[in-house]
Amino acid sequence: MSLIVQKYGGTSVANPERINAVADRVKRFVDKGHKVVVVVSAMSGETNKLLQFINDVNKKPDPRESDVVLSTGEQVTIGLTALAIQARGVKAKSYTGAQVKILTDNAHSKARIINIGTENIRKDLDNGYVLVIAGFQGADEQGNITTLGRGGSDTTAVAIAAALGADECQIYTDVNGIYTTDPRVVSNARKLKSITFEEMLEMASLGSKVLQIRSVEFAGKYKVNLRVLSSFEEDGEGTIITYEESHKMEDPIISGIAFNRDEAKVTVESIPDKPGIAYQILGPIAEQNIDVDMIIQNIGHDGLNDFTFTVNKTELDKTIEILEKMKDHLGAKTIIGDSNIAKLSLVGVGMKSHVGVASKMFRTLSEEGINISTISTSEIKISILIEEKSLDAAVQSLHKAFNLDQ
């Protein structure tokens, strides 16, 4: 007997038929003697619809109230899933995040989990219930409802698995595992049997939304056995995330290509080349809880520098607004925002021991006539910014150039 946490994403609970399929699968696991905790997302499209409703009534919504609205999608699916499981003669009970006591900080819309109270749910598990827990939500110290950021149900599932010491956390979605790149963009992308935690962390942080980054961080911290698989197939091994460091000679140099269309580029032009300037620019942005990703300081000319970084597209206006206010104080010439960009990254632990990856990447893109505006690297990844309209072509040509389909 094992304790298994199963997370079902939006397409896996998209309608009553899909919810019935989830209940069938849960019953199969229960019949085999396993204890099962289910974490569900809202029905696919639902969270977007709620976001639109919020925007229709208020252009600058209070984050507390937004989270009250956004969390409702998951409340529908926990109830329906529990009912579907009960209809199969299996005891089931639904829980909102607050009912579980998923305690978060108060950063509405991107709250972080601080603690999970397991007392209640453990009692129910011991009494033979299947638990159906709402993903993507928690509550802060004051009891305000919070949400964990888009794709946050993955994080709920892994955090619950960690808190309960589950034997495995299974992420059911609409693809049957982790691929070399998004199969929606490259049709012959190849499914990976396993991926190292390190690589998965990079892939997720660089935009592969198959797993929310925080769920991968949680998995690594608590060594949760994590598997991604399809809810549309009866069986299948999916892809397992592994923790041992791999040093094999035959490791592929590149394991995958990740990309992200959600970022925008901000350039502060012609600022004085002096100590503290990066802090002066980024400090006020961090204070507003805006996440900054790539940061590049261009080579100076005439004692002046250009400073470039990326933020989420949804936070571009706010970022520009902050910088415009500080422009004179910084001594900057202009502030430029560009949201027509995409970030593309090659990821692979094999890069540590191979040279020439970057040059092959740049040659491939130059042959395609694709211009690179910004480059950043780490030990196991190379990231570039390109025009958003060239993204698909870039991913496809690199996938081929690095033989990822083989």
CB 269, CB 224: distance < 8 Å:
no
Nearer to ligand ADP, 36 or 210 (CB): 210
Nearer to ligand ASP, 136 or 307 (CB): 136
Burial (CB count within 10 angstroms: exposed 0-12, middle 13-18, buried 19+), residue 1: exposed
Nearer to ligand ADP, 179 or 307 (CB): 179
Query: Could you tell me the CA-to-CA distances from 325 to 229, 283, 285 in Å, in that order?
Result: 48, 14, 12
Q: Give yes or no for residue 207 binding Mg ion (CB under 5 A).
A: no
Nearer to ligand ASP, 23 or 39 (CB): 39
| 181, interface contact from ligand ADP, ligand ASP, Mg ion, none, CB < 5-8 Å by kind | ligand ADP
> What is 133-153 written as a DSSP string?
EETTEEE-TT--EEE--TTTH
Candidate ranges 19-27, 41-49, 331-339, 372-380; the one touching ligand ASP (CB under 6 A): 41-49
Q: How far is the CB of 314 from ligand ADP (least distance, A)?
A: 17
> How many whole angstroms from its chain centre is CA 214?
7
Q: How far is the CB of 111 from ligand ASP (least distance, A)?
A: 13
How many of the other CB atoms lie within 10 Å of CB of 56? 8
Candidate ranges 12-20, 120-128, 144-152, 266-274; the one touching ligand ASP (CB under 6 A): 144-152
- CA dihedral 45→46→50→56, nearest 10 degrees, is 40
Q: Give yes or no for residue 151 binding Mg ion (CB under 5 A).
A: yes
d(CA 368, CA 295): 26
Nearer to ligand ADP, 210 or 391 (CB): 210
Site for ligand ASP in 44-63 (CB under 6 A): 47
Q: How far is the CB of 73 from ligand ASP (least distance, A)?
A: 5
Report DSSP state, residue 69. Answer: H
Site string for ligand ASP, 66-85 (x = CB under 6 A): -------x------------
Q: How far is the CB of 153 from ligand ADP (least distance, A)?
A: 7
Q: How far is the CB of 257 from ligand ADP (least distance, A)?
A: 8
Please give the span between the terminal C-alpha atoms of the chain, in angstroms, as a whole number. 38
Burial (CB count within 10 angstroms: exposed 0-12, middle 13-18, buried 19+), residue 299: exposed
Count of alpha carbons within 13 angstroms of residue 217, beta-carbon side? 9
Q: Give yes or no for residue 207 binding ligand ASP (CB under 6 A).
A: no
Q: How far is the CB of 148 from ligand ASP (least distance, A)?
A: 8
Helix (H, G, I), strand (E, B) or coil at 260: strand
| Candidate residues 6, 12, 41, 383; the one interacting with ligand ASP per rule CB under 6 A | 41
Q: Give yes or no for residue 151 binding ligand ASP (CB under 6 A).
A: yes
| 182, interface contact from Mg ion, ligand ADP, ligand ASP, none, CB < 5-8 Å by kind | ligand ADP
Helix (H, G, I), strand (E, B) or coil at 406: coil
Site for ligand ASP in 243-282 (CB under 6 A): none
Angle at CA of residue 309, ends 308 and 311, nearest 5°: 145
Q: How far is the CB of 9 from ligand ADP (least distance, A)?
A: 2
| 150, interface contact from ligand ADP, ligand ASP, Mg ion, none, CB < 5-8 Å by kind | ligand ASP
Matching residue, tokens 């593309």? 344
- CA dihedral 315→173→232→129, nearest 10 degrees, is -120
Task: Enumerate binding residues for ligand ADP (CB under 6 A).
Answer: 9-12, 41, 151, 173-175, 178-179, 181-184, 208-210, 256
d(CA 345, CA 341): 13
- Alpha helices per DSSP H over 114-229: 119-126, 153-164, 197-205, 213-222
Nearest to 78 by CA among 40, 23, 25, 29: 40
Candidate ranges 148-156, 163-171, 368-376, 394-402; the one touching ligand ASP (CB under 6 A): 148-156
Q: How far is the CB of 243 from ligand ASP (least distance, A)?
A: 24
**Footprint on this chain of Mg ion (rule: CB under 5 A):** 9, 151
**Footprint on this chain of ligand ASP (rule: CB under 6 A):** 9-10, 41-42, 47, 73, 135-136, 150-154
